[in-house]
Amino acid sequence: MTKITQPHDRFLKALLSDPDKTGTLLRERLPKEVAELLSSEPPVLVDGTFIDGEFREHLTDRLFKVKTQEGKAAYIYALIEHKSYADEWVAFQLLRYMVRIWERFLKEGQQKLPPIVPLVVYHGAREWTVPNQFSALLEADKGLLHHLLDFSFAVTDLGRIADDDLSQDTHLRAALMAMKYAFHSADGVVVIPQIGKGAQGDPEFAKLVLRYLIQTYRGMTMADVQAYAEEAFPGEAEHYASQFAREMMSKGRQEGRQEGRQEGRQEGRQEGESSLLLRQLHRRFGEVPGWAELKVANATIDELETWGEQIFDAETLEAVFK
C-alpha cells in the first residue's frame, strides 16, 4: 500500500477508521434524502485494493458499505480533498474511482451494480466554488445533456460551517474543527483550547488530534500545547504537555534545517547567476568596473536574469542595467 505522506490524509484516514465517527459524518453531511435512507448501524470499511497506484498517490481510498433502513446495502465512497484550492476535476476523479469499484463487482459476478454516493470533505482556505455536477465538465449544448452521463456529489466545505455546527458528536466536531483551521493558522491558534476540550474523554483520540495540530499549525507554540493539554487531559496536562513539547522542539529543528537548505539553494543559485553575468559582461564590454561588480553582487535573482537578457541588445555597459 502506498504510504500517505500528507498529515491531512493521515489524520482523516485515522479519523475515518472509527466506524461510529464515520457513520455520524455520513449521516450529517450526505444529502438529506440519502441520509434519511441510512440505518443507525455503523458503516463497514470496504477493502480499497481496487484503487490503482496512480490514484493512491493523491487520494485517500475510503469506501464504506452502509445498510439502509430497509436492509439493503448502499456503498458510499468518501473522497477526501485536502488541497487549499477547489479542484475543478474532482468530478472526473470520482467517476474514475466509481468505474473501478463497479469493475471489481462485475469481476466478482455481481448482476447489478451497487449505488455509490460520493462525499467530498474540503477544508481549503478559500470557499469551494466548483460545481458539484459532472456535467459541468462537459462542453455540450443543453439539449444534449439529458442524453449524456451525469451525477452529483456532496461537498462539505468546513470553512463555511460554524464551529458549533460541524457535528453533533463532540469528538468529530473537534477533529473537523482542527482541519477547518489548518489553513488559517492565526485563527486556529485561538480555538486550540476549544478543540482540546472537545477531545476530552479519549486520550488516544486527543493525542491524535494534538499531533495533527503540531504537524500542521505553523503558529502553534509550547504555550498552545499546554493550553490544549489542560483541556484535553484534565489532571494530566503536565505529563502530556511535556511529552508533546518534545515533538514541538523536533518539529522546530526540522523546519530550521529545511529553511537552511532552502536558503542555501537560493544563495547558491544567486552566486551562480552573478558569476555568469560578470563573465558575460567582461566578454562583451571588456574590464568590468567596480560599480558594476557591486551592483551585480547586491542584485536579486530576478534582476540578474533581467540583466542577463538585456546584455545581448545593450550597446553600452550602462544600458545593461537600465
SS (H, E, C) the chain: CCCCCCHHHHHHHHHCCCHHHHHHHHHHHCCHHHHCCECCCCCEEECCCCCCHHHHCCCCCCEEEEEECCCCEEEEEEEEECCCCCCCCHHHHHHHHHHHHHHHHHHCCCCCCCCECCEEEECCCCCCCCCCEHHHHCCCCHHHHCCCCCCECEEEEHHHCCHHHCCCCHHHHHHHHHHHCCCCHHHHHHCHHHHHHHCCCCHHHHHHHHHHHHHHCCCCCHHHHHHHHHHHCCCCHHHHHHHHHHHHHHHHHHHHHHHHHHHHHHHHHHHHHHHHHHHHHHHHHCCCCHHHHHHHHCCCHHHHHHHHHHCCCCCCHHHHCC
Residue 79 contacts residue 120 (beta carbons within 8 Å): yes
Q: Quick one: pLDDT at residue 232?
A: 92
| 151 has pLDDT over 80 | yes
The pTM (predicted TM-score) of the whole model is: 0.71
What pLDDT shows up at residue 199?
Answer: 95
Q: Taking residues 10-21, report their average pLDDT.
A: 90
Domain spans in the chain, listed from the N-terminal domain onward? 7-160, 271-320
Confidence band for 91, pLDDT divided at 50, 70 and 90: very high
| Mean pLDDT across 237-259 | 61
Distance (Å, whole) CA 53 – CA 57: 6
Query: Could you give the CA distance from residue 81 to residue 204 in angstroms, rounded to a whole number?
Result: 25
Tens of pLDDT, residues 191-231: 999 999 999 999 999 999 998 998 888 777 778 888 898 99
pLDDT single digits (tens) 249-275: 555 444 444 444 454 445 555 666 777
180 pLDDT band (50/70/90 cuts)? very high
d(CA 97, CA 79): 9
Q: Say what the pLDDT of residue 299 is.
A: 79
How many Cα atoms within 13 Å fall on the side-chain side of residue 145? Answer: 12
If one counts every other C-beta atom within 10 angstroms of the C-beta of residue 141, the result is 6
Q: Cell numbers of 82, please?
A: 485536502
pLDDT band at 48 (very low <50, low <70, confident <90, very high): low
**Cα distances (Å, whole numbers) of residue 214 to 62, 91, 221:** 25, 32, 9
Q: Grid coordinates representing 236?
A: 494530566
The pLDDT of residue 170: 97
Report the C-alpha gap between 311 and 306 in whole angstroms.
9
Confidence of residue 112 (pLDDT cuts 50, 70, 90): confident
